[in-house]
Structure 1
């Protein structure tokens, strides 16, 4: 049997070969160069998630999807997405080759530019991809940027990221982004709902985050999250839950400098730990990760 070719790397993950000419790492999306096979991968992923997320995604995500020029038949044109986003929240989508350096990422966010990878995964990578591709970035992130609260929070995160780099505390702030924008849950009238892009763009994690007994679901606490490591190789062991998406506005206005000092040098917590002071909504069994150890 012929071995399957390894997946190509993009952007920062590809080293010097992935660095584009522009200092801000933006590239032309090259929409007309997408192949029929690439559009077919988008169609499969879009239709599969669109069947799954009703009743799982938060109402703000569903509203964003309704109002964007986004559908199953083709990979969206970033220019058309940006036209609608700019009118609603002042954001635009800019194409990048893949992962970008932290300082570039923060600079874009601070100026309401969302850097989206222009490549799409191969047909043999439908269920797992190490790098964020156009499906993760556009399906997962862009609908939420139509919401003013999330739009303001992500801009504030970009500004905060630039400060955190200067202070040498970026890992603490990165965990806030991870457990909110990427893997956040929120309580709404009908129950727990997904707003994090890393969940909502993943078929398997959309099921795991809400239905599986394995993970912990814990009320969001900023200092707690800043000290909690996360998984990049598997489903999350704990999800942190907002009482309301509007709580992100309070986070956006927090002076993080005293918080960084308060947690500096303190022990960091493993992803699956439950602390006595946690507001536990459901304590997980840990069975998924125990079986894989």
Structure 2
């Protein structure tokens, strides 16, 4: 999702899609994918939720260069009815929601440079495809993403996109989940990041809090560094139920009367799994 108005490139269709143009990728582009894939795939077993690693397997996503979206979509369509479509980069919110509501995941077609190995502000094909697509092979999470898109179209009409953006951020991008007695990664922003894959689970700095819908929608987030708080869901079924079993309109109206919460806030009523030291961010302020 984009925070500022965007201008559709000339080569993009009205829905902002473009050909992936897979043949245009250079050997260096494919080598960058392989380098990123090998680094993440080797560290995620036992850390990422099993549904994510299962998705990598069933979609045959491997260290063999940037995937062809047409081939990937063919496998994904047979499993959950989703497709992967190429876009030039960030797209307007309503375009993003319309694609999700119709089971189309928009993915950037460019890949980062070696200088951007560990951080880039705008998502690239590795973040979008490696980070997001494996969970779209899981039926419940696939349904959640479609429901999110439908909710986004409604929120757009109610002037409530910021609240729904926070839900996306703290679930789809930076969510943690309980699996057995352990916490696991599932958010795309974490599983596609070497550093945050370690930080989110192992570091004492961030808060890890039980998921609460209203609490999440009140909480600001940061886009320039590791998160200071993570929210933990109990299951994908619970997450889906939050989006399909209630009308968000009264909640949006209630949120308008409440103050936003800072990224490091811990409330007395929070279910605290780990009260973070915030040492990471404090050290960077020195």
TM-score category (smaller protein): over 0.9
Is the CA contact (8 Å cut-off) linking 2:12 and 2:87 kept in structure 1?
no
Match for residue 203 of structure 2 among 212, 229, 242: 212
**Corresponding residue of 2:36:** 45
**Corresponding residue of 1:280:** 272
**Corresponding residue of 1:3:** none
Q: Secondary structure at the match of 1:225?
A: helix
In structure 2, relative to structure 1, the CA distance for the partners of 1:13 and 1:77 (3 Å cut) is farther
Root mean square deviation of aligned Cα? 1.6
Residue 114 (1) aligns with residue 97 (2):
no
**Corresponding residue of 2:247:** 255
Is the CA contact (8 Å cut-off) linking 2:6 and 2:91 kept in structure 1?
no
Is the CA contact (8 Å cut-off) linking 2:6 and 2:92 kept in structure 1?
no
Deviations 1:90-129 (A, max 9, x none): 1000000111111110000000000000000011111001
Pairs aligned (count)? 283
In structure 2, relative to structure 1, the CA distance for the partners of 1:12 and 1:210 (3 Å cut) is closer
Distance 1:184 1:234 in 2: 15
Deviations 1:130-175 (A, max 9, x none): 1110000000000000011110111111111111111011101110
Q: Give the CA deviation at 1:248.
A: 1.5
Unaligned runs of 5+ in 2: none
Residue 153 (1) aligns with residue 137 (2):
no
Unaligned runs of 5+ in 1: 1-10
In structure 2, relative to structure 1, the CA distance for the partners of 1:12 and 1:282 (3 Å cut) is closer
**Corresponding residue of 1:63:** 54
TM-score norm. by structure 1 comes to 0.94
Q: Give the CA deviation at 1:292.
A: 1.6
1:154-173 aligned at under 5 Å gives the runs 154-173=145-164
1:1-293 aligned at under 5 Å gives the runs 16=7, 18=9, 20-253=11-244, 254-293=246-285
TM-score norm. by structure 2 comes to 0.96
Q: Secondary structure at the match of 1:116?
A: strand
Is the CA contact (8 Å cut-off) linking 2:144 and 2:243 kept in structure 1?
yes
